[in-house]
Structure 1
Amino acid sequence: MEHKKYRNFKESTRHLFRIYTIIPFAVLMILFLVFTIINGRMNLTQKTTEAAQSISQSMAEVYQQYYNEINRMAASPAVTNYVNSHLGSDKVYSEFYDFNNHQKVKSIFHIVSTGGIFLASSAPPEVLSSNFAFSNLINRIHQRPQDTLSEMNSFRYSHDRDTSYTFGKAIIKNGQTLGYIIYQLYESDIQKIIFEQNNEIAMITDQHNTIIATTSNATKGVLNKFSPTFDNQGHVLLNNGKYYMYTKRIPDTPIQVVTLNSYKSEQYTYYTVSVFVLAASVLLWIMIQIMSHKMSTRNSESIDKLIHALAQLREGNFNGYVDIQTNDEFEILGDEYNVMLDRLKDLMEKNKELSELSTIIEVKQLQSQFHPHFMFNVLETLRYAIKIDANQAQDIVMILSRLLRYSIGHDRSVQLQDDMNYVQDYLKLQHIRFNERLEYQISVAEETQEVYVPKLLLQPIIENAIKYGYQHQSKVLIEIRIYTSAGKLILEVHDNGHGMNEETLQQVNQILQSQSNTTKHIGLYNVHRRLVLLYGEQSGIHIDSTQGKGTCVTLTIPYEWGENDV
């Protein structure tokens, strides 16, 4: 009788484990390589196209604005009257600067008589008086007085300011040409538009491929033209590298946008992925050898695992799961034990949540009371700033947008440096509102920058200092000091306001120590109550005040606390 050869259970387990692990990993690596190649090419194409679309949209707006403006100015009564009588130059300059100050791309403005005399200019015209190219420009406008001239040309002014594109139009009244109006766009401003993130090279050319502006001088060829060289695969050869190019012509204009991105980054990705796959394969093979050996011996340890898990459970460790895969009664027993452990943990978590629910609800209610105070004061500051200076109001809007983005976030805690950025923006707005009547100083210890604190922690304190500081005086100084002491994070807000007498100070401190608050002192109470709920009775607010000298509000919280503890 022939005897069959049997492979022992340990060796069979190791063999099957190696096969079932290597096969899916190999398939996954192949799919990963294919996806990386396709995705790399798609990303290169997409970012090049998106950059061209974005630049094209911006340049189309600039072109259309200048095209409309020069036609409007050429027909403006203020301009025609000035050319005829040489009177009313202030109106002409006012219209130009009102337009120019609102443009992304600034320009130089000229009005030239038919005899070549500069009647008005926003830059010294001496550099153009004998310029042959400028004379030809005037001649081209003169030959087609009904058309609007727009072309690439370069003129250099003082302080190394170059212009690279020109709009020109004849000034006509009653069928007679009185002069010419010209806008010359700064090259540096155009370059700012074409600098796009995730894009290497961008340029703007006219219909003759003459470069108006570019982010790389390597694209400039003979006579400042862009004449790319292509390989047999259609790649642009530039700077000893291959580039993908996308060209976008701007509708109804003689200009086009060209964007280029190198294939080098894509090739580097392929190299990196190849090294990763090779390293991962070697590491996986080593891990498979080790894990297959451990797996083949683990099945005999089922009873020991269960006994050990029960011992851990008696000690209060509810994470002592067992992993038994013997396909017998011990596996069923292990699974049932794991289910029982999950149910115990669920019951404990529910009890913990019930005990913490009231505290969480109260903290959220206290946090929600900060926003109305904050929004009212910021909008009031903005209202005053708009009346004083429109440019300053624009700065306020930018600061306000940052404050709004920060304040509407859902984070319960933030790093101290982030909250102090908010405080600085808030004080900037208040300083704009009160000018020299408000001064502030901020001192933050370097080691405290990354400590997590409750969001909008100091804003109500500073708001109170400003609100009550101006009740008895015209100038307020606010000093903020943040440092560590004896394992605590100390935040102090000083002001030089009128302060409080002893009776008022005692009343305020009594309100802070109470469990509920029905008085008007909402801001300070909310901050104090929030700190007590989050950190315990050792934390909170302490107020020192002397009537006629000012008030110091001190906040104390634990120093060694992370984000999950706030």
Structure 2
Amino acid sequence: MKQRNTASIKRLTMMIFLVMYIIFFIITTLSLYSYSNYEFEKTEKLIKNFDTSLSQQIAEKLTSFSDISKYPLLIPDIDKLHEVLLSNKVNDIEQYNYLKYLCDMLLIQNDSINGAYLYDLKGRGVCSTRNNTNDKLKNPATEKWFIDTLESSNNTSIFPEIITANIYQSPSSNDGQLIALCRKIINVKTKEVTGLLLITIPKDEFLSIVKKDLPFTDQIVSIYDEKGFAILTTMNTDSIEFTQTQGKNILNNKNRPAIQYINNAPYLISYNVIPNTNWTLVNSIAKFDAYRINSLFIVVFVINIVFFMILFSVLYMFFNKRIFNPLKSLIANMNRNVENNLHNDFAYNKKDEIGILIKSYNEMKRRINDLININYKNQLEQKDLELKQLQNQINPHFIYNTLESIHMMAEINDDLDTSIMAQYFGSIIRYSMNRKINVVTLKEEISVIEHYIYLQKIRFDQLFSIENLISPEVLNCEIIKMIIQPLIENAIYHGLSECSSNGKIIIQGEHLLDNLVLTISDNGIGIEEDELQSLNDYINDKNNDYKGIALRNINKRLKLNYGEEYGLKIYSVVGKGTSMELTLPYITRE
């Protein structure tokens, strides 16, 4: 059974270490999880803000081009423009130069515009381009963008897939893809469409916005039209076919996936509709790049886990070697035959706490052996001592009965003063020697104090008077028995010792906050300031300058029973008197 208990202590220690390690592991894991969630939320917020900001930039770019396209409609001679476009003489030199001038003015509005074109309804047009010597315009009357613009209910249309072959008769092989904005030129008076304005912007202008300040290393940003065709993308040209497929799959699927695989790698996908367009911005970020946790945090996490695992293992082995095994051997030694084992010390050479315990155990065995040898003699001496104590002991009832006899004899002899003195003294003796009662009410204590004062007045021939100013509301409060009498005795023998007459002692009691405060004051000689400080230090065990123990005992009894905030405090003014203040908790007896 004892071996099982020893093993239980070992198992308990191991369980404590295991629980501590599990708690540490859980806390560390939760910290990592919390940190990861914080990083992931921060990443998702960053992605959302990036998508919103980028979409807004593209929308603002398109809006600025749309505002520029309004220029021909705001010129003072707008009627002339309508007249020229409806004259079927667009190619006449005067009309051509006029339209050419308008195109030039459009071109200088924004450096991103690389071409401005004005067409009549039959597709005859004039242009102004930047860094392009080809001025042989193609008649776009049969081109999809031309037809769609005229048929559209909107005043402007955006075409993300315009190429130079849609505009020129002989396009250059070096011309890149364009994004075009086409606006109807409408006569506001007749509500009649008189022509079309076409503005072209290289896709690279938008691509530069998309590529600028990408927050992630492995990030692909693409813009799709409403049919899922890629307008532009930051992906390399080798993967354009994938991008087109991705766009169709994403935009045609109501449940757009959050994760897609690109080149067999998982990517986090986010979507945002570009304002005022039917374009969708798709942001693809490598999952590893988006949800990357600081590698240093992971390393610290692993190091902490391994370190504390090793630490707990080492501590357990240390406890097993230095505590459990010695205790097991000590228990085995205790279980041997007691009579034979008392003469042999348990061998242990280390001077640690276990060594101190074993040393005490060996000393205990030697003492037990010595005690066994002298036990019989001690028992005889004890019996003799008890007999002597019984012989010398006076029964307290003998004192009570004797005082009662004196009281009765005095009454018989008509000695009233002696009778009262014997009666009062007996009540004081009976009250103080009652060991069964330690706590009394203030009213009971004051009743005995009045008997004591009566006897002292007779002793000192009425040299002092007593004034009781105790508030009636506190008379039912509980106090420790016999703590006021020593204070009154101290006031009589020390405070009033040099008063020949008119000595006065005032007893006060009141309820302050949650405390009962009792004050015994005298109008005696008072105490010097240095001596008063020394006396207060003495009753609080800070010095031993005085021989009397009554005041110190009262202070100790109060603090032991109620706490350090309670006790005795002495105040004094030389020549005016001394006050002794008792502070107790306010406890009333029901």
Same fold (TM over 0.5): no
TM category (shorter chain) comes to 0.3 to 0.5
Q: Between the two structures, name the one with larger relative contact order (CA 8 Å, sep ≥ 6).
A: 1
What's the TM-score once normalised by structure 1's chain length? 0.42
